A and B are shown apart, each in its own frame.
Chain A
Amino acid sequence: MQPEEDRTNTPLQALVTLNDAVYIDIARYFALRMKKNGGKDVNNQIAQGYQWLMYKSIPDTKLKILGNLYRTALNDYKKHPDQARQLLGGQQTDLHPETAALVVVANAMLNLDEAVTKN
């Protein structure tokens, strides 16, 4: 039997990767990169982001899930542009609701099991 590290899989860990300012900052710049280099269509952007993150293509079901999250977030930020600006705080060049919605998606992507688990 090999010695094994105890796994960490607690709600506290989830809260760190969801809410810690560092993770939000990573999500911001990840979203900006997806928007800039991921193609025109938001589905392409998410798919490209997943490819960068996991070195494999995104399964259709997951793309659909994340696409839905994007649309939910976009509706919200169109109604509340001030919230979008808050989420995008720090960088000042791109404060569009679309970008904020993509940050929400990027934050979710960085929390996927495959992203936080060492494979």
Chain B
Amino acid sequence: MTRDELNAHRLVKEAKETELRAFTRRHFLKESAMGLGAVAMGALLGSCGFGNKSTNAILYDPAHPLLPKSPPFPGKAKSVIYLHMAGAPSQLELFDYKPELMKMDGQDCPQSLLAGKKFAFITGVPKMLGPQAKFAQHGESRAWISENLPHFATMADEVSFLKAVSTDQFNHAPAQLLIHTGSPRLGRPSMGSWATYGLGTENQNLPGFVVLTSGGSFPDAGKSIWGSGFLPSVYQGVQCRSEGDPVLFIKDPQGMSRDLRKASIDAINASNEQEFATYNDPEILSRISQYEMAYRMQISAPEVMNINDEPQYIHEMYGTQPGRSCFANNVLLARKLVEKGVRYVQLFDWGWDAHGDGPNNSLNIGLKNKCRSIDKPVTALLLDLKQRGLLEETLVVWGGEFGRTPMMENRNGVQNPYNGRDHHTDAFTIWMAGGGIKKGATYGETDEIGYSPVSGKVDAFDIQATILNQLGFDHEQFTYPFQGRPFRLTDVGGKVIHDIIA
């Protein structure tokens, strides 16, 4: 089949699905007006040759939605580990060294920096706040890394820093959604969902997209941040636990043998196949494959997700705390999962929101503690992936959802009791490593107080475009048709950041 034929075939299939949906009882009332309209619209657009170019050739096979697929071009990265520091770590205490800012420490913020700007909390005229950590240059790349990350400093020559990342969202939830789904509002598929939709996954006994959280709270954006949006729900992230059973209810009920459990899942799926034959709702096929996955996970997950079998030196390297729920355990688990062929592992670590309104939210206490909890594990992850020969094919991304202001936060015009910084949208740092990313590179630069980008400014779409590029996708071609038009992760933005690609 040529690409055009494939597209035509897909359009027809889709129109039929939409039509069926409109006629089935379960969808009639809800969607008939929209559904029939979309069919007509799709036919109209199709006959104009509209949409053919951007409709992606990947066919979703509902019966085998997670089988591994080749990307459109050979990608350097096979899998992704995304380490998201929820709350937004301060670039000014970690990577973006600004001695000039120290000279302004304690002075009133110049009006020129405040004119026309809106902040989450700062009102009136805040004081400038110099770097609250000592910096040194590391490695042959001479990258500036602060004393807060002494272990990670030894990795300077493995990573590419993006120093001038910007966003247009100054609240946590929308900013997190923007980074991971390409929209600050709910409803779009997350990056892990796109990746598993496009590539499937290598290990059919585990979910293709696993989510692990630490820090005591979920990210503000909630579970939608690993949702599948309009993609089939089989691609949504599967959240696992790093303490106790990897997932709840993984054990069979007392008195039900594994064979009986298998027999009953087979019966459920056989019945659901009958249901699909009647209603043709592809979500029923998703359910069938999820029940199969549930069964396979019952067998394989307890072993794969058990970090206790790892040798002692690995535990020491990562700084794990077996039996507890913590970032270090999740990072080690992430490596195990990627090693086993999981496509996309998303970590969220909560607690990086250093406003200065309390000790745990301050740059001098809270941030340092958070850094201590990630420094060893993140470093160990890079080293461990490298020693296993996995770093070249695993893209590791570290970052938050925005940056912090060079000003000290003055909530409601009153200076906070501890040193802290407000949310800042214009400039922050994200780094990437492995998966075909340059080693020991820096791209982008901020002004002398770290307030605005002066070169190499990138945004969430550029980061997404780059991640997709490393996985073997042209982000402009990688689309999914929804509501009568092709949608993509990067919406209408995004440029691959070639300067950090090896």
Contacts and interface: CB of A to CB of B under 8 A. Distances in A.
Interface of A: 1-4, 6-16, 18-21, 24, 59, 61-62, 65-66, 68-69, 72-73, 76, 80, 83-89, 100, 104-105, 107-108, 111-114, 116-117, 119
Contact of A9 (B254, B264, B290): B290
A15 B250 contact: yes
A86 B249 CA distance: 17
Contacts of A59: 274
Interface in B136-187: 186-187
A8 to B, nearest CB: 7
A42 to B, nearest CB: 14
Interface stretch (B42-50, B110-118, B226-234): B226-234
Given A9-B283, A66-B271, A69-B267, A19 B252 contact: yes
Contacts, number: 141
A12 B253 contact: no
A119 B278 CA distance: 14
Nearest to A89: B254
A40 to B, nearest CB: 23
B238 A10 contact: yes
B254 A87 contact: yes
Interface in B238-261: 238-239, 247-257, 259-261
Nearest to A119: B26
Given A24-B253, A114-B275, A15 B263 contact: no
Contacts of B229: 6
A1 B483 contact: yes
A20 B251 CA distance: 9
Given A1-B483, A7-B233, A18-B294, A12 B238 contact: yes
A85 B238 CA distance: 34
A113 B297 CA distance: 20
9 contacts: A6-B233, A11-B290, A12-B239, A18-B264, A20-B249, A61-B271, A65-B270, A86-B255, A104-B264
A7 B290 CA distance: 13
B233 A9 contact: yes
B284 interface: yes
Nearest to A118: B26
A16 B267 contact: no
B255 A88 contact: yes
A14 to B, nearest CB: 4
A68 B247 contact: no
A113 B287 contact: yes
A104 B274 contact: no
* Residue of B228, B234, B260, B286 with highest tally of chain A CB at under 10 A: B260
B207 interface: yes
B277 to A, nearest CB: 9
B25 interface: yes
Given A9-B290, A89-B254, A119-B25, A15 B247 contact: yes
B284 A113 contact: yes
Contacts of A69: 263-264, 267
A9 B234 contact: yes
B293 interface: yes
B398 interface: no
Closest 10 CB pairs of A and B: A87-B255, A86-B255, A9-B233, A14-B294, A19-B249, A11-B294, A69-B267, A11-B293, A15-B249, A86-B254
B218 interface: no
Contacts of A24: 253
Given A62-B271, A87-B254, A88-B255, A15 B294 contact: yes
B291 interface: yes
A72 B253 CA distance: 17
Contacts of A83: 255-257
A119 B28 CA distance: 10
Contacts of A8: 233, 236
A68 B283 contact: no
A73 B260 CA distance: 6
Contact of A65 (B233, B267, B287, B291): B267
Contacts of A12: 238-239, 247-248, 294
Contact of A104 (B254, B256, B275, B294): B256
B268 interface: yes
B71 to A, nearest CB: 25
Contacts of B239: 12
B272 interface: yes
A68 B266 CA distance: 11
B252 A72 contact: no
Nearest to B483: A1
Given A66-B271, A104-B260, 5 more contacts: A19-B252, A72-B260, A100-B255, A104-B264, A117-B26
Interface in B389-445: none
Contacts of B233: 6-10
Given A10-B233, A84-B255, A87-B256, A73 B297 contact: no
B298 interface: yes
Contacts of A111: 264, 268, 291
Contacts of B249: 15-16, 18-20
Contact of A112 (B207, B247, B271): B271
A85 B263 CA distance: 19
A72 B262 CA distance: 11
A65 B236 CA distance: 30
B224 interface: yes
B34 interface: yes
Contact of A6 (B224, B248, B259, B286): B224
A114 to B, nearest CB: 6
A13 B26 contact: no
